[in-house]
Amino acid sequence: MSPVGYFEHVVEPGETGMRLDALIGGLEFIASRSAAARLIDDGLVLVNGQHAPKKHAVKAGERIEIEVPPYNRGDLVAEDIPLDIRFEDAHMIVLSKPAGLVVHPAEGHWTGTLVHALLAHSDDLGSLQGEDRPGIVHRLDKDTSGLMMVAKTDMAQVALQEMIKVRSVDRRYLTLVHGWIAPDTGLIDAALSRDPRERMRMAVSDASNAKQSVTTFRVLERFEAGRFDDGFTLLECKLYTGRTHQIRVHMAYINHPCVGDPVYGARKIKADLGLERQFLHAYRLELVHPITGEKLRFLDPPPEDLASRLAQIAEDSSGRTKAGDEVLGMLSGSQLS
């Protein structure tokens, strides 16, 4: 759900002609287009000081005022959902999120989220992200698995979010992508914004409101082409920014989409090795504890659905790189050091 409060947005030239509900639904503080439509229907949206219909075509320079009322889907109720916790103290939690688990309540997912599970696990969670996001510091997509941080106090929540902002948290991902990537390393510096044609998607853009997005990668292992595919490359990706769908969009942008990606991929089930979610896993997290100063490193091997796909194509491997020996060797050892 959106944070509570009053917000303003001035229409950018590149947004001219969009429907009002589509524009508002694409703003990062609004959960969805349907949530935006409810706000408009409830008279909580003004365009240049006047009420406007959902179908209003916005114009550059129009000032949109949005009032988001308190969370009104009922009090959050703790739910007994298992958590795979890798570290916990009085200040923070590190856990491994499974694919399929939504992080916080939003349109279509009012129950059964990570937040509901956290409420059942602990009475102490940071409150600075709003009533519907207790403890949340950052997010993973619903069908992306792997390591996440959760704050148990407001002090830890502020500190962890600032650490992410200044890039002092080392977050790395494993992804299997389509095709053969020849260079052993690469950098993708391509700004992202909402896709103007489909606001639930992100896209590389040169629009004025696009946000800088930087991803680096190292090749871990390459796989020869088979009957139904053009080969695969296993990558380690490191985020220098944390935009929505960043790795998935950047990989598709260089014509190597993540295997199984239902949004940015080719959606060919055999070429996707039968995988129906993106092969993307947050496998490594390193940071200095924001309160104690302790150095923490966590490693999380890929879950069974992803590991089985690597085993499926193992005989097509052309060999691991030096980075592959390093990373995959680490993952075969301890998860926490």
Using H for helix, E for strand and C for coil, what is the string for 270-287? Answer: CCCCCCCCCCEEEEEEEE
pLDDT value for 108: 66
3-class secondary structure, 159: helix
Q: Which of 144, 165, 186 is the last residue of a domain?
A: 165
Q: Is residue 79 part of a domain?
A: no
Q: Is residue 74 part of a domain?
A: no
Judge if 89 and 151 occupy the same domain.
yes
Q: Which of 132, 141, 143, 300 is catalytic?
A: 141
Q: What backbone phi and psi angles, to 5 degrees, belong to 152?
A: -100, -10
Q: Is residue 336 part of a domain?
A: no
Handedness of CA 172, 289, 212, 63 (dihedral sign): positive
Q: Is residue 259 part of a domain?
A: yes
Judge if 195 and 268 occupy the same domain.
yes
pLDDT value for 107: 63
Q: Which of 113, 135, 165 is the last residue of a domain?
A: 165
Q: Residue 318 corresponds to which amino acid?
A: S
Split into its structural domains, the chain has a count of 3
Q: Is residue 38 part of a domain?
A: yes
**CB-based contact 152:93 (threshold 8 Å):** yes
Judge if 187 and 309 occupy the same domain.
yes
Judge if 185 and 232 occupy the same domain.
yes
Judge if 325 and 238 occupy the same domain.
yes
The CATH number covering residue 16 comes to 3.10.290.10
Cα–Cα distance for residue pair 98/276, rounded to 1 Å? 14
Q: Is residue 161 part of a domain?
A: yes
From the number of C-beta atoms within 10 Å of its C-beta (0-12, 13-18, 19+), residue 62 rates as: middle
What six digits make up the tokens of 57?
A: 């075509």
Strand order in 45-47's β-sheet?
A: 5-10, 63-68, 45-47
Judge if 258 and 287 occupy the same domain.
yes
Cα–Cα distance for residue pair 135/153, rounded to 1 Å? 8
Judge if 101 and 180 occupy the same domain.
no
What six digits make up the tokens of 98?
A: 């499974």
Q: Which of 25, 44, 68 is the last residue of a domain?
A: 68
Judge if 185 and 260 occupy the same domain.
yes
The CATH number covering residue 299 comes to 3.30.2350.10
Look at residues 218, 203, 104 and name the one whose alpha carbon lies nearest to residue 150: 104
Judge if 157 and 196 occupy the same domain.
no
Q: Is residue 78 part of a domain?
A: no
Judge if 195 and 322 occupy the same domain.
yes
Q: Which helix (H) or strand (E) covers residue 85, if one does?
A: strand 84-88
The one-digit pLDDT tens for each residue of the chain (337 residues) are 444 567 889 999 989 999 999 898 888 667 667 778 888 988 899 999 999 999 999 999 999 999 877 654 446 889 999 999 999 999 999 999 999 999 988 766 778 999 999 999 999 999 888 777 899 999 999 999 999 999 999 999 999 999 998 999 999 999 999 999 999 999 999 999 888 777 678 999 998 878 999 999 999 999 999 888 999 999 999 999 889 899 999 999 999 999 999 999 988 999 999 998 999 999 999 999 999 999 999 999 999 999 999 999 999 999 999 999 999 999 987 444 4
Judge if 207 and 161 occupy the same domain.
no
Judge if 136 and 231 occupy the same domain.
no
Handedness of CA 196, 200, 204, 205 (dihedral sign): positive
Concerning whether 272 is annotated as a catalytic residue, the answer is no
pLDDT value for 261: 97
Beta strand ranges found along 98-226 (DSSP E): 145-151, 170-178, 185-189, 192-195, 198-204, 214-223
Q: What backbone phi and psi angles, to 5 degrees, belong to 36?
A: -65, -40
Q: Is residue 217 part of a domain?
A: yes
Range of the domain at 13: 5-68
User: Which alpha helices (H) appear in 7-98, and where do they start and end?
Assistant: 20-25, 33-41
pLDDT value for 149: 98
